[in-house]
């Protein structure tokens, strides 16, 4: 009897044993800090002295008294609004190129992806050097075709664009996700369309694009989240300047915490970012029912329709 | 599908132009590392150095304790990768091959943790690690990796879901327990997924800047990424040593990617299904 019970217990406990590393990690490194962060956001929490409760004080200060909060929020939104569609457009274009049935195309796939595997530190050094206004290679190349390049990193009007240029260097990650999706579309679908006289453009808009809409949704959400968290590149490429024109929201939060040691205030900053991300994601998801096409659902619909006709 | 010669030519031209855009900065940087400092900031710039100064690399390496930084980077990379491979495969096996109470809810929670911005957890994590006495050690960078990472667990679970249960049934009849089945049967099958997660983790840990920036204080603890950024902060006008170290730093992830490319491409396609 006892042995049976023990065996039953072991059988029931086994799956929890296997997932226990994640559960412990989740409690200690994710949910614990998450709750602590929420609590801290209601405190004045300096690094060295005792924390003082101030209710919604941090949030009220942020929204009503801190002009930099609104400025940084606007900069990050602007960056996301330009970078996300641009990056996705380029990624999709490159993915279409490297799925063409021509010889040696895999070599290009490798080359396009390489910039995506190098560190943000390296990217910032490389682009800081290429974009330099005095001896930078980019302005030299522009001068060859008669354009006088701007002082990218020193001119507040151009610095944000310089950051976008440098971040788009890592377009390979997204390209690869589109690429594997497009590759998985059976070639027979295109052959049939081709026989029916559909042009390549028509094939792209009527076959490829609808099939990859779930991937577009995935990429859209991950890149919105990613662009709000962009810190490394601005920290090292522009340092938030010139004149705070690239003082991204992530950098603002980081500096409030680790430069000005306002841990409570920075926690409130981070929670506002989290809520904005959640709202944006929810909006994208909500809109997705009108433009994302799921194969499994379509099949079900077809079955229903066919069943109805009988 | 047939393609006209004209279309093919256009495709090759596009591919080449874009490849030049992606490669040119690397090639130009590589040649510049052999130049003199004056030549590097000369205008108009020249592609090739007039004299090849190979000693630039040695001088750059000696100018800071880059050897120590490299040692720290290797230590963190190796230990986190080992930790991720072991913990993520355990957890993925638990989610993929067992039925248990709360499984679906727990898996949903796991997926939703990927949405939490790091900015929200970094501040309390800093305090937590401070309490543990881990600040200014490599522990905050290494130990969390031994408790799995949502995205990697998800990738491995997807892979395991595609493996039929027939494999383990024979072993069960022979009296093997669940842990033996995990270790002797599923780990070998998981190999492509283990390589994928291993390489993705190696690249991201090797490249990480913010983690080391927050948790490390003394130079003797710096990783290569942090050391290079610190060097840039102080000696931003010394372009040659900065580019030399950059070249050294980007070689390992590029090699890792090229070697494991097949697994990364296949793994990406597995994750979108």
pLDDT over 90, % of chain A: 49
Average pLDDT over residues B203-228: 94
Q: What is the mean pLDDT of chain A?
A: 88
Give me the residues paired with residue A53 across strands.
A43
Q: Checking phi first, is residue A208 left (phi over 0); if not, alpha (psi -120 to 50) or beta?
A: alpha
Alpha-carbon distance of B156 to B186, in angstroms, equals: 11
Greater confidence (B270 vs A114) lies with A114
Q: Does A273 touch chain B (CB under 8 A)?
A: yes
- Residue A215, pLDDT > 90, answer no
Angle CA(B90)–CA(B95)–CA(B96) in degrees, nearest 5?
95
Alpha-carbon distance of A119 to A237, in angstroms, equals: 13
Superfamily of domain A67-309: MetI-like (1.10.3720.10)
What was the pLDDT predicted at B272?
54
What was the pLDDT predicted at B44?
83
pLDDT over 70, % of chain B: 98
Q: Report the C-alpha dihedral over residues B216, B218, B223, B228, rounded to 10 degrees.
A: 110
Alpha-carbon distance of B240 to B235, in angstroms, equals: 10
Q: Please state the domain extents for chain B.
A: 5-56, 58-271
Angle CA(B194)–CA(B197)–CA(B198) in degrees, nearest 5?
80
Q: And the tokens for B272?
A: 């979108």
Contact in structure between A223 and A50 (CB atoms under 8 Å)? no
Contact in structure between B54 and B34 (CB atoms under 8 Å)? yes
Contacts of B84 in chain A (CB under 8 A): none
- Residue A310, pLDDT > 50, answer no
Taking an 8 Å cut-off on Cβ atoms, the answer to whether A236 and B117 are in contact is no
What was the pLDDT predicted at B207?
94
The fold of the B58-271 domain, in CATH, is: MetI-like fold (1.10.3720)
Name the pLDDT band for A191 (thresholds 50, 70, 90). confident
Residue B239: its H or E element: helix B239-271
The residue among B27, B154, B32, B244 whose CA lies nearest residue A114 is: B27
Alpha-carbon distance of B83 to A302, in angstroms, equals: 47
Q: How far lies A21's CA from each of B79, B85, B87, B149, in Å? A: 16, 12, 6, 10
Contact in structure between A118 and A205 (CB atoms under 8 Å)? no
Q: Please state the domain extents for chain A.
A: 67-309
Greater confidence (B143 vs A7) lies with B143
- Residue B193, pLDDT > 80, answer yes
What was the pLDDT predicted at B79?
97
Give me the residues paired with residue A309 across strands.
none
Alpha-carbon distance of A277 to A86, in angstroms, equals: 19
- Residue A301, pLDDT > 70, answer no
A 146-185: CB under 8 A from B: 169, 176-177, 179-181, 183-184
A 199-218: CB under 8 A from B: 214-215, 218
Measure CB to CB from residue B19 to each of A111, A125, A187 and give the nearest one. A111
The predicted-structure confidence for B64-108, as pLDDT tens digits, reads as follows 899 999 999 999 999 999 999 999 999 999 999 999 999 999 999
Handedness of CA A107, A109, A114, A117 (dihedral sign): negative
Burial of A274 (0-12, 13-18, 19+ CB in 10 A): buried
Taking an 8 Å cut-off on Cβ atoms, the answer to whether B120 and A183 are in contact is no
Alpha-carbon distance of B255 to B245, in angstroms, equals: 16
The predicted-structure confidence for A267-294, as pLDDT tens digits, reads as follows 999 999 999 999 999 999 888 888 888 7
Close Cβ partners of B62 (under 8 Å, ≥ 6 residues apart): none
What was the pLDDT predicted at A304?
61
Residue A43: its H or E element: strand A43-44
- Residue B270, pLDDT > 90, answer no
The predicted-structure confidence for A59-113, as pLDDT tens digits, reads as follows 999 999 999 999 999 999 999 999 999 999 999 999 999 998 888 889 999 999 9
The residue among A130, A96, A128 whose CA lies nearest residue A112 is: A96
Name the pLDDT band for A309 (thresholds 50, 70, 90). very low
The predicted-structure confidence for A27-49, as pLDDT tens digits, reads as follows 999 999 999 999 999 999 988 88
What was the pLDDT predicted at A303?
62
Average pLDDT over residues A248-270: 93
What was the pLDDT predicted at B92?
95
Angle CA(A50)–CA(B212)–CA(A274) in degrees, nearest 5?
65
Contact in structure between A177 and A219 (CB atoms under 8 Å)? yes
Length of chain B: 273
Alpha-carbon distance of B37 to B48, in angstroms, equals: 14
A 90-109: CB under 8 A from B: 94, 97-98, 100-102, 105, 108-109
The predicted-structure confidence for B168-184, as pLDDT tens digits, reads as follows 888 888 888 889 999 99
- Residue A248, pLDDT > 90, answer yes
Average pLDDT over residues A165-193: 88
- Residue A53, pLDDT > 70, answer yes
Close Cβ partners of B247 (under 8 Å, ≥ 6 residues apart): B29, B30, B33
Alpha-carbon distance of B96 to B20, in angstroms, equals: 44
Q: What is this model's ipTM?
A: 0.89
Omega before A308 cis (within 30°)? no
Closest residue in A to B93 (Cα–Cα): A18
- Residue A305, pLDDT > 70, answer no
Helices A249-258, A67-98: crossing angle, 10 deg rounding:
130
């Amino acid at each position: 009897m006892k042995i049976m019970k023990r065996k039953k217990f072991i059988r029931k406990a086994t799956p929890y044993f296997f997932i226990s590393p994640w559960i412990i990690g989740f409690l200690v490194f994710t949910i614990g800090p998450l709750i602590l962060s929420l609590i801290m956001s209601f405190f004045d929490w300096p690094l060295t002295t005792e924390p003082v409760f101030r209710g919604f004080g941090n949030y009220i200060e942020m929204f009503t008294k801190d002009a930099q909060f609104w400025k940084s929020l606007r900069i990050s939104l602007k960056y996301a609004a330009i970078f996300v569609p641009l990056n996705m457009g380029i990624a999709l274009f490159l993915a279409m190129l490297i799925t063409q049935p021509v010889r040696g195309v895999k070599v290009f796939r490798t080359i396009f992806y390489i910039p995506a595997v190098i560190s943000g530190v390296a990217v910032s050094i490389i682009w800081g050097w290429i974009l330099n206004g005095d001896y930078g290679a980019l302005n030299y190349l522009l001068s060859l075709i008669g354009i006088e390049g701007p002082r990218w990193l020193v001119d507040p009007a151009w610095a944000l664009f310089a950051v976008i240029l440098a971040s788009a260097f890592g377009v390979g990650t997204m390209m690869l996700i589109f690429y594997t999706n497009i590759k998985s579309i059976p070639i027979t679908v295109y052959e049939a369309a081709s026989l029916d006289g559909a042009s390549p453009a028509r094939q792209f808009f009527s076959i490829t694009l609808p099939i990859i809409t779930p991937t577009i949704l995935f990429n859209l959400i991950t890149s919105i989240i990613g662009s709000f968290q962009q810190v490394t590149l601005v920290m090292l490429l522009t340092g938030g300047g010139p004149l705070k024109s690239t003082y991204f929201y992530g950098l603002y939060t980081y500096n409030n915490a680790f430069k000005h040691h306002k841990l409570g205030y920075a926690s409130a900053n981070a929670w506002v970012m989290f809520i904005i991300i959640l709202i944006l994601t929810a909006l994208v998801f909500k809109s997705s029912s009108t433009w994302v096409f799921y194969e499994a659902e379509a099949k079900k619909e077809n079955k229903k329709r066919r069943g109805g006709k009988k | 599908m047939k393609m006209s010669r004209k279309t093919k030519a256009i495709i090759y031209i596009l591919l080449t132009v874009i490849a030049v855009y992606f490669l040119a900065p690397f090639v130009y940087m590589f040649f510049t590392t052999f130049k003199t400092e004056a030549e590097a900031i000369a205008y108009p710039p020249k592609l090739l150095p007039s004299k090849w100064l190979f000693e630039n690399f040695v001088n750059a390496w000696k100018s800071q304790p880059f050897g120590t930084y490299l040692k720290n980077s290797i230590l963190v990379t190796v230990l986190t990768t080992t930790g991720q491979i072991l913990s993520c495969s355990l957890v993925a096996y638990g989610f993929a091959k067992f039925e248990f109470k709360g499984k679906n809810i727990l898996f949903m929670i796991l997926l939703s943790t990927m949405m939490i911005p790091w900015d929200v957890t970094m501040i309390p994590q800093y305090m937590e690690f401070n309490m543990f006495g881990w600040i200014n050690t490599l522990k905050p960078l290494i130990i969390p990796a031994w408790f799995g990472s949502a995205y990697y667990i998800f990738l491995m679970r997807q892979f395991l879901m595609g493996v039929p249960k027939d494999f383990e049934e024979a072993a069960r009849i022979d009296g093997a327990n669940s842990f033996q089945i995990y270790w002797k049967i599923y780990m070998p099958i998981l190999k492509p997924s283990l390589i994928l997660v291993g390489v993705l983790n190696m690249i991201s840990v090797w490249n990480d800047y913010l983690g080391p920036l927050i948790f490390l204080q003394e130079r003797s603890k710096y990783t290569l990424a942090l050391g290079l950024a610190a060097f840039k902060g102080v000696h931003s006008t010394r372009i040659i040593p900065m580019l030399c170290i950059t070249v050294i730093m980007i070689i390992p992830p590029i090699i890792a990617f090229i070697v494991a490319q097949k697994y990364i491409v296949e793994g990406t396609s597995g994750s979108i299904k």
